[in-house]
C-alpha cells in the first residue's frame, strides 16, 4: 500500500466514469488516486452491462440451437449446463476487472481499495470496506488523502420498493438474477426498461416461462412508440407474456415460488412463478459520502452539477449516475473526460449534448436509439420528415435469417437536421453509432443520402430510412 497521500485528483468510485477520469487525468500529467469500496470497473463491468451481455450471448446461442432447421441443420437432445453459463459470465467480469487494475498500474494511478468520504475542503477519508471481494486487499486502517480536485463517481444501485425488497431466494434484483443457483422454470419481471426486458429476454431464450409486468402503458417507455410496439410484438411472438398499464400491489411467498397480486383491467389477478425480478429503476449512491461537510447540493437523490460537472463546492465534481440521467456507462465515461479536460484547461473542451447520447437494449430483438422520439419532436414544435425501412427489404437481413426489424429516422423538415433515429432488430446496437456520429457532427439528410453504404450490409437500411423520409427509398 502506498504511503502517498497528496494528489492533484482523487476519484471516489472506479466504475466506467471514475476509472476513465483517472486515466485521462494521468495522461495529462496529474498525480491521481482512485478510491473504490468494491470492484474495479464498478457495477457496469461486474454486475451490469458486461456480465449481462455474456449471459445474453449464451441465451442467443441456445435459441439458435433450437431453430437450426431454418439454416439446414439438425441437432437432437440439446442441453445446457446452467452453472457453466453463469461461471462464464462471472469469468468475463473477472477478466475485465483485472484489466482495469492493469490500466491503473500502467497509468500510475494509485488505487485505494476502501470507503471514500469527504471531510471538507480538499480532504478525503479512506476507511476499510466490508464490501471487498474475497482475495482483494484493502486499506487496513483509516487514512486521510488530500487533493486539489475531488471527483465523485459512486454510481447507482437497484431501486427497492417497500414490501418488495429482494430476499436472495424468491425476490431478485439484477444482481441475484445474474448468479442464480439454478435455472427457474418460470419468472415474473416487474419493469420493462432496459434491465427488466434484457433479463426477460435472457430467461425466455433459455426456456423459462416469462411474464413481464409494466406500470406504463407500453414496454420500454423511453423508446419511440412505434419501436416499442414492434419490439413487444416480437417478444410476444416468442412466447413472452406482457401486461402493460398494471400495478403489482402485493407478493405472497411460497416455499419455492412467489405470487404477485396484479391490478389489471379493473380487477386484481394473481400471477405465480418460481422467481420474480424487481427491475423498477436505479437510485444514485450519494449516501455516506460526507456531502454534509461541503456545499454540494443534492436534489431528488441527484448531485447538482454545471455543464462541466462542477458542484456548488469548489474543487468537487460529480460524474455518471450520481450526476443524473441518462444513467448509462458511456455517458459516465464521457463526463469523466470532459470534467478532467476542463480542470486541465485542455483547448476545445465543451459540454456534452445529452440528445446525442445513444441508448441500447440487448433483448431479442435489440433496440437502439438516439435523439428525439417522433412524439417528443412534435411536442417541441418541429415539422417533421419521417423515414422508415423494414428489415424484410434488406438482403443481408434475409440472408442472416433476421427479417424482422425496423429503422426509423426523424428529420426537421425545415433544416434537414437529424432529430432522432430509432431501430429495432438484429445488431441495431452496433448500427446506431452511424447515426450518432452524423448527429454529433450535425449532418443533414443530404450528407446521409450522399454517403455510400457497403452492400450487402444491414447498414444499408440506415441509408434507405433516410431516403424514405424524402420519398426516395429504393428497395421498399
Give the DSSP letter string of 148-181: EEEEE---EEE---TT----SSSEE-HHHHHS-S
- How far apart are the C-alpha atoms of 278 and 195, rounded to whole Å? 10
Q: Do 122 and 108 form a contact (C-beta atoms < 8 A)?
A: no
Q: Do 244 and 238 form a contact (C-beta atoms < 8 A)?
A: no
Task: Of 121, 38, 16, 8, give the one whose Cα is nearest residue 331.
Answer: 16
Give the DSSP letter string of 109-153: -EEEESEEEEEETTEEEEE--TTPPTT----SS-EEEEEEEEEE-
Q: Do 219 and 212 form a contact (C-beta atoms < 8 A)?
A: yes
Question: Which strand (E) or helix (H) includes residue 366?
Answer: strand 366-371
Question: What's the pLDDT score for residue 389?
Answer: 98
Task: Of 182, 123, 176, give the one whose Cα is nearest residue 315.
Answer: 123
Q: Which residues of the chain are under the pLDDT cut of 70?
A: 1-4
Q: Do 340 and 25 form a contact (C-beta atoms < 8 A)?
A: yes
Please confirm whether the linkage preceding 326 is cis (ω < 30° from 0).
yes
Question: What's the pLDDT score for residue 1?
Answer: 43
Supply the angle between the helices 428-440 and 460-469 in degrees, to the nearest 10: 50
Catalytic, 455? Answer yes
Q: Do 421 and 408 form a contact (C-beta atoms < 8 A)?
A: yes
Task: Of 320, 343, 331, 347, give the one whose Cα is nearest residue 29.
Answer: 343
Task: Of 368, 52, 425, 361, give the one whose Cα is nearest residue 194.
Answer: 361
Q: Do 178 and 53 form a contact (C-beta atoms < 8 A)?
A: no
Domains of the chain from N-terminus onward: 6-48+85-157+283-354 (3.50.50.60), 171-280 (3.50.50.60), 365-469 (3.30.390.30)
Sorted by sequence, the CB contacts under 8 Å of residue 282 that are 6+ apart come out as: 156, 157, 158, 159, 195, 321, 327
| Strand order from edge to edge, sheet including 366-371 | 359-361, 366-371, 418-425, 406-412, 384-390
CA angle 54, 55, 59 (to 5 degrees): 120
C-alpha dihedral sign at 324, 325, 329, 333 = negative
- How far apart are the C-alpha atoms of 144 and 127, rounded to whole Å? 9
First to last CA, the chain: 64
Beta strands in 233-342 (DSSP E): 241-244, 247-253, 258-264, 267-273, 275-278, 282-284, 298-299, 302-303, 316-318
Look at the chain and count its residues. 476
pTM: 0.95
C-alpha dihedral sign at 100, 105, 107, 112 = positive
Question: What's the pLDDT score for residue 3?
Answer: 59
What's the half-sphere exposure (Cβ side, CA atoms, 13 Å) at 70? Answer: 11
CA angle 279, 281, 285 (to 5 degrees): 125
3-state SS class at 243:
strand
Task: Of 120, 111, 147, 141, give the one whose Cα is nearest residue 129.
Answer: 141
List pLDDT tens digits, range 367-422: 999 999 999 999 999 999 999 999 999 999 999 999 999 999 999 999 999 999 99
Which of 63, 243, 455, 475 is flagged as catalytic?
Answer: 455
Sorted by sequence, the CB contacts under 8 Å of residue 461 that are 6+ apart come out as: 389, 391, 393, 394, 397, 405, 407, 431
Task: Report in angstroms the alpha-carbon separations of 263 from 41, 66, 163, 250.
Answer: 39, 35, 16, 10
CB count within 10 Å of CB 32 equals 28
- How far apart are the C-alpha atoms of 29 and 107, rounded to whole Å? 10
Cα 173 to chain centroid distance, Å, stands at: 15
- How far apart are the C-alpha atoms of 337 and 449, rounded to whole Å? 33
What's the half-sphere exposure (Cβ side, CA atoms, 13 Å) at 200? Answer: 35
CA angle 341, 116, 142 (to 5 degrees): 135
Amino acid at each position: 500500500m502506498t504511503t502517498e497521500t497528496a494528489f492533484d485528483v482523487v476519484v471516489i468510485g472506479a466504475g466506467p466514469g471514475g476509472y476513465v477520469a483517472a486515466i485521462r487525468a494521468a495522461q495529462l500529467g496529474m498525480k491521481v488516486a482512485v478510491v473504490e469500496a468494491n470492484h474495479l470497473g464498478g457495477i457496469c463491468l461486474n454486475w451490469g452491462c458486461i456480465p449481462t451481455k455474456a449471459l445474453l450471448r449464451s441465451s442467443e446461442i441456445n435459441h439458435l440451437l433450437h431453430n437450426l432447421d431454418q439454416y439446414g441443420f439438425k441437432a437432437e437432445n440439446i442441453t445446457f449446463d446452467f452453472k457453466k453459463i453463469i461461471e462464464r459470465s462471472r469469468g468475463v467480469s473477472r477478466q475485465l476487472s483485472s484489466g482495469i487494475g492493469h490500466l491503473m498500474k500502467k497509468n500510475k494511478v494509485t488505487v485505494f481499495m476502501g470507503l471514500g468520504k469527504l471531510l471538507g475542503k480538499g480532504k478525503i477519508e479512506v476507511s476499510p470496506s466490508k464490501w471487498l471481494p474475497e482475495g482483494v486487499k484493502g486499506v487496513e486502517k483509516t487514512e486521510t488523502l488530500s487533493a486539489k480536485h475531488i471527483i465523485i463517481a459512486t454510481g447507482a444501485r437497484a431501486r427497492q420498493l417497500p414490501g418488495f425488497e429482494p430476499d436472495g431466494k424468491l425476490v431478485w434484483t439484477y444482481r441475484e438474477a445474474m448468479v442464480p443457483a439454478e435455472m427457474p422454470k418460470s419468472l415474473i419481471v416487474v419493469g420493462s426498461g432496459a434491465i427488466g426486458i434484457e433479463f426477460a429476454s435472457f430467461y425466455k431464450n433459455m426456456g423459462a416461462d416469462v411474464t413481464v409486468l409494466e406500470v406504463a402503458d407500453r414496454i420500454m417507455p423511453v423508446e419511440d412508440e412505434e419501436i416499442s410496439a414492434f419490439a413487444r410484438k416480437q417478444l410476444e411472438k416468442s412466447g413472452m407474456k406482457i401486461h402493460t398499464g398494471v400495478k403489482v400491489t402485493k407478493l405472497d411467498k411460497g416455499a419455492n415460488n412467489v405470487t404477485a397480486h396484479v391490478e389489471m383491467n379493473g380487477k386484481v389477478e394473481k400471477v405465480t412463478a418460481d422467481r420474480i425480478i424487481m427491475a423498477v429503476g436505479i437510485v444514485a449512491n450519494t449516501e455516506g459520502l460526507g456531502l454534509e461537510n461541503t456545499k454540494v447540493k443534492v436534489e431528488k437523490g441527484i448531485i447538482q452539477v454545471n455543464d462541466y460537472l462542477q458542484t456548488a463546492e469548489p474543487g468537487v465534481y460529480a460524474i455518471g449516475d450520481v450526476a443524473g440521467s441518462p444513467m448509462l456507462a458511456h455517458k459516465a465515461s464521457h463526463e469523466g473526460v470532459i470534467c478532467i479536460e476542463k480542470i486541465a484547461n485542455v483547448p476545445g473542451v465543451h459540454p456534452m449534448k445529452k440528445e446525442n447520447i445513444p441508448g441500447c437494449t440487448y433483448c431479442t430483438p435489440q433496440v437502439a436509439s438516439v435523439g428525439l422520439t417522433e412524439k417528443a419532436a412534435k411536442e417541441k414544435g418541429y415539422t417533421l420528415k419521417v423515414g422508415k425501412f423494414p428489415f424484410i427489404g434488406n438482403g443481408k437481413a434475409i440472408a442472416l435469417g433476421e427479417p424482422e426489424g425496423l429503422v426509423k429516422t426523424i428529420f426537421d423538415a425545415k433544416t434537414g437536421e437529424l432529430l432522432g433515429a430509432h431501430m429495432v432488430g438484429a445488431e441495431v446496437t452496433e448500427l446506431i453509432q452511424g447515426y450518432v456520429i452524423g448527429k454529433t457532427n450535425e449532418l443533414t439528410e443530404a450528407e446521409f443520402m450522399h454517403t455510400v453504404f457497403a452492400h450487402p450490409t444491414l447498414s444499408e437500411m440506415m441509408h434507405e430510412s433516410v431516403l424514405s423520409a424524402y420519398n426516395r427509398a429504393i428497395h421498399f
